[in-house]
Structures are given as C-alpha cells and as structure tokens.
A and B are shown apart, each in its own frame.
Chain A
Amino acid sequence: MADLAAMLPTGASATRIDLVLVAGMVEPGSRVLDVGCGDGALLRLLREGRNVDARGIEISQSGVNECVARGLSVIQGDADTDLADYPDDAFDYVILSQTLQATRRPRVVLEHMLRIGRHAIVSFPNFGHWKVRARLAFGGRMPVTENLPVSWYETPNIHFCTISDFIDLVNAIGARIERVVALDAGGKQMRFAMPWWVWNLFGEQAVFVLTRKP
C-alpha cells in the first residue's frame, strides 16, 4: 500500500487516505468506473499503480477538463441520471468515493452500481462518529468538522448517513458486504474486529465493498 500512497500528490496523502485504501481494494488489471471522480486523483492512482482500465464520471466541468487533459477517460455527467445508460456488468468495480451523501437518490445510485459492476466500492463520511454526535447533542447545531467543513445551507451533502444506516440500506437492496474498513480520526484503519456500534461511534470514514447476492 505504501507505493500507492507515494503516488498521491504531495499534501494529499493525509486528507484523501481513503483513496489509497480504495485503490488497494481493486484487483490489478480490472475495469473500473469511478463515479464522482473529481480531479481524477483515484483514477490516476488506479491507472498508474494498479494497471487498471479506469473510467470516470464527474459533474464539474473543471474536474472533467483536468481529467481529460491528463489523458483519463472521463465524461461529464451526474451519478443520479447517467448510470442508467451503462449496460449490466460493464465493469469489475464501480467506485463511489465520498459522493454517496451528495446524490439525490442514494438507493437508486447504489442499485445501478451493483448492476453495472461486479463489485461496488463505497466510501463515505460516517455521520455517527462521536464528534458529529457531540456537536449535535451538546452544541445543538448541524456538525461542521474537519471532514465536513461546510455549513448546512451550503453543503452539497444532502443525504448523510451513519455506518449503521448504510448497512440497513445494503440489506434493503439485498446486497452482500464483502469487506468493510473504517478509518479513525487519524486516518488509520481500525484494527480489531469490533462490534458495529464501536465502528459507528469511532469510525470517521467507512469503505464498503459490496456485491450482488448470488
């Protein structure tokens, strides 16, 4: 994993450690679609570090321009509307990195991901983290933290969930959890096989690998 981390642009490794984690979950040489790929940091990591046929969808023009200028196959599009155009099983992995909470219909997006990819990898900020809970419980205000820095009236994140909420959604759509990793506030993987409620309290970010149930 260390070699992947070294490929991130300087200064990015601390903030987007989840990208390194996600990239490490992808089989080398596979076909990947990154939904909400931003400036293409993960796609580059996958292309250069994992020899992956990496494609992306990004909603912002500046993000797409940057990706295409770097030679990545990225289209300008919207996770909520454009996933429907992809055929079944088009990819080995469909990745939604820190974007689920910004979609209008997370359930539909997740269902499409599982349809067009053999695996879906979803990373999201855990709204059940103790700092978030404390902020709301004792501050009485919508949480603004290091990882969630935008005020409620400006945030693009309209569908926050906790790790437990997400597991409910996975069950509701009948998917199977292949692997879960939670990262603590320091960006470190939580090491021990702890019960869900502990992850839900101390995990700041979560990464799920899902598949369809056979």
Chain B
Amino acid sequence: MAHWQAIAPAAAQEVEHPSSLVVEFGPDRPLALDCGASLSPFTIAYQTYGELDAQRSNAVLICHALTGDQHVANVHPVTGKPGWWETMIGPGKPIDTDRFFVICANVVGGCMGTTGPASRGPDQVKPWALDFPVVTIRDMVRAQAMLIDHLGIDTLFCVAGGSMGGMQVLQWAASYPERVFSAMPIATAARHSAQNIAFHEVGRQAIMADPDWKGGHYLLEGARPEKGLAVARMAAHITYLSEPALHRKFGRKLQERDAPTFSFDADFEIESYLRYQGRSFVERFDANSYLYLTRAMDYFDLAADYDGVLARAFGKTRTRFCMVSFTSDWLFPTADTRAIVHALNASGASVSFVEIETDKGHDAFLLDVPELFATSRGFIDSAAHARGLPPAREA
C-alpha cells in the first residue's frame, strides 16, 4: 500500500489503524446520506474519557471542529501535543471526566480513522478519493447517533462543541431533541455565511491548483498536495484570529533579522508563523478530507430544512441551551449566535447566552478564556443538578 505514504506517514497510519476505539458498521447498517447515497460499510474512530454511570445518564458528546479530531483530551498520536480541548475537559475541568462519560468521535469524511476520502473505497484497495460521497453536518450527526446507539446510550446529558462542532450540536438538538438533555454550541452559526463559504472556496482552490493534487488522485499516484493544503490552512488560520490579536502577537516585527532582506523570504514574524502553521498542518491532515469537510460546513443551513424558519428546527424542545460567542470573532460573529438565541426564545426553549469580551478571535473557544470556563461550569453544574446527577466532588 505504498500509495498511502502519499499522506504524511504518521497521519496515514491513523487513517488505516487509528490510535482510538473503533466501531465498524457492516452492510446491514448503512449510513444514509443527504446526497442520496449510502455509505456502507463504514468505520467510526472515537475516544472516551471517564465512566458511564449505571443509569447511562452522564454521557457528554463532544463534536470537533473542521480540523479537529477525536483526540479531545489526550496527547495527539501524530503531533504529540495535548488534546485540543484539555482546557475544558478533564478531571475537575468544566466538563469533568470524574463525573461525566465523555465521548468524541472523528466525523464522517475525516482522516483520523473514521471513514473519509483517504479511507479504502468500496473495492477495499483504492482510496475513495473524490468518489467519496459529499457529506453534510446532518450526515455527521446521523453517524454519531449510530455510535451512541452502539454504546447503549439513549439520552446524552450534554452535546458540546465549537465552530463546525457547534453546527453539529445544533443539528443534534434539531434532529434528536429527546436525546439531548443539554446543548452547548459555541462560536457557531445556524448557517454558513457567504463570507465563510468564500474563504473555504479560496482554500479548496489552493488545494486543487496544486499539481500534486492530481485531480484528487494523489494517493494513488504517490504525490502530496502539500503546498496547496498549506496555503489553504494559512488563509483559514487568519480567519481564526483577529486583527488586534495579530497586532499584539506579531505587529510588524521582523523574523530573526534587523532589516528587510528585499526578497520574498519570510521577513515578518507573521509570515514565518503562517508558514509554520501551513507546514505542520499538512503533517496531520488529508487534503481531500479538507475539501469534504469545508463543503459540509458550506452546505449547513439549519433553517432551510424547516421552511426557512429556524425556530421550527427546535419545535417545543426541552433541551437546555447555553450559547457562547466572542466579541472579536468575525468568522462566526455574535449576530449569528443571536439569531439562534432569538429562534430558541421563539420556541420557548431554556437558553442562556453570553458574549465574551476577548481579542482572541474565533479561536477563543479553544484557548484559556476564564469567562468561558466559568460560564460552562455554571451551565453544566445546573444542568447536572436538573438531571439528578451527583454534584462535583470537593477538591
């Protein structure tokens, strides 16, 4: 299988043999997709933390963002870095693994062990590549529901996630209201904006313009569209930050030099930083996966499934919601969150909403933002109380 070496070797290993729990759904349990196709057989790779209680009532599902994965609270098998949400999840953290059974699954279309375009296709030899069906946020959630069924869990105590993860949280609440006791969609939107679709298109075009993309068949041809994927990541990364944060961190500082070189070398620190972000991303991510997952976000428009009325998506929901946005997030601005809050109010839902003041931009949901932790802790604790779960152990 030499062609799999076309992805960075460590990442390729995770596609075929993930360092995770795995559930395989055979031909008897196909995943029906929004595009009309059905995916079968398929695999979900997932991580769990903490213990499921006897009543199976303390399960928390974490939904990951575009370039995240299931390694939410453990050292990442490829990068060796801490889990992407260890600030939020762990013993004594707001989502306390001493109290809750936390599940996080790689999304359908991903590249960390759940079936996606880099996985072996129907012939079990060649990778799916562009023959992989286009998936949606709703498809991801349907697959997660099959995993939750498999784990024998009826109702999730909480579903939480930011950005694309927040879209999945909203879709969970709309598709399976009786299975979601509480929901925490963070820095997200009920539909992807034209501006966001535009940024995604820039990223996709960068990948597809790379000659090593080979019309999507780079895996078969032993090539790697590293340049294109890195540029896509660089462009996207800018949208996750804010102008004040960029200025604070980098300003116009030069990279290890005293004067401009009068060349196109990375003179500025910000250039060097972005190049590093691009380089490290291609070590862990599959280019076609990036195409599919950005597409899934673009297609997301929750209200469209309910005659354009977002409130109808939530019906007479009994789920308790906590929405969080960040002042400097221009990718998923507060107005997007407010639209969801209005819809939830119109459907009489129990909803809390906080806009947190920070200059850290969209990425704030992943960073050390004390107000986010205080809000999450308060919401989770009161929901746990309402659910009849035991309180946090005294430290």
- A interface vs B, CB < 8 Å? 53, 55, 61, 64-65, 67-77, 82, 85-87, 90
A75 and B352 contact, CB distance less than 8 A: yes
A68 and B356 contact, CB distance less than 8 A: no
Chain B, range 356-395, C-beta contacts under 8 Å to A: 356-357, 371, 374-375, 377-379, 381-383, 385
Bound together, the chains give a CA A69 to CA B320 distance in angstroms of 15
B346 and A73 contact, CB distance less than 8 A: no
A73 and B378 contact, CB distance less than 8 A: no
Is the C-beta of B3 less than 8 angstroms from some C-beta in chain A? no
Known: A61-B356, A75-B345, A87-B346. A68 touches B351 (CB 8 A): no
B348 and A70 contact, CB distance less than 8 A: no
Given contacts A65-B374, A72-B352, 17 further A-B contacts (CB under 8 A): A55-B350, A61-B356, A61-B357, A65-B354, A65-B371, A67-B352, A68-B322, A68-B354, A68-B375, A69-B375, A73-B320, A73-B351, A75-B352, A75-B353, A76-B355, A82-B342, A90-B348
For B322, list chain A residues within 8 Å (CB).
Answer: 68
Known: A72-B382, A75-B341. A61 touches B348 (CB 8 A): no
Q: Which 7 A-B pairs have CB atoms at the shortest separation, nearest pair first?
A: A71-B382, A69-B378, A75-B353, A69-B374, A85-B342, A68-B352, A68-B375
Bound together, the chains give a CA A138 to CA B322 distance in angstroms of 52
For B352, list chain A residues within 8 Å (CB).
Answer: 64, 67-68, 72-75
For B381, list chain A residues within 8 Å (CB).
Answer: 71
Bound together, the chains give a CA A90 to CA B345 distance in angstroms of 9
- B interface vs A, CB < 8 Å? 320, 322-323, 341-342, 345-346, 348, 350-357, 371, 374-375, 377-379, 381-383, 385
Smallest beta-carbon distance B395→chain A, Å: 17
A65 and B375 contact, CB distance less than 8 A: yes
Query: Among A53, A64, A85, A90, which residue has its beta carbon within 8 angstroms of that of B354?
Result: A64
Task: Classify the interface of chain A: helix, strand, loop or mixed.
Answer: mixed
Give the A-B contact count at a CB cut-off of 8 A: 65
Bound together, the chains give a CA A75 to CA B346 distance in angstroms of 13
Bound together, the chains give a CA A167 to CA B358 distance in angstroms of 44
B379 and A68 contact, CB distance less than 8 A: yes
Q: Sample 23 A-B pairs with CB under 8 A, ordered by A number.
A: A61-B354, A61-B355, A61-B356, A61-B357, A64-B352, A64-B354, A65-B356, A65-B374, A65-B375, A67-B352, A68-B378, A69-B375, A70-B378, A70-B382, A71-B381, A73-B350, A73-B351, A75-B345, A75-B351, A77-B353, A82-B342, A82-B345, A90-B348
For B342, list chain A residues within 8 Å (CB).
Answer: 82, 85
A71 and B346 contact, CB distance less than 8 A: no
Bound together, the chains give a CA A55 to CA B385 distance in angstroms of 17
For A76, list chain B residues within 8 Å (CB).
Answer: 353-355
Known: A61-B357, A85-B342, A85-B345. A71 touches B350 (CB 8 A): no
Bound together, the chains give a CA A87 to CA B309 distance in angstroms of 14
Bound together, the chains give a CA A132 to CA B385 distance in angstroms of 47
Smallest beta-carbon distance B160→chain A, Å: 14
For A74, list chain B residues within 8 Å (CB).
Answer: 352-353
Smallest beta-carbon distance B311→chain A, Å: 9
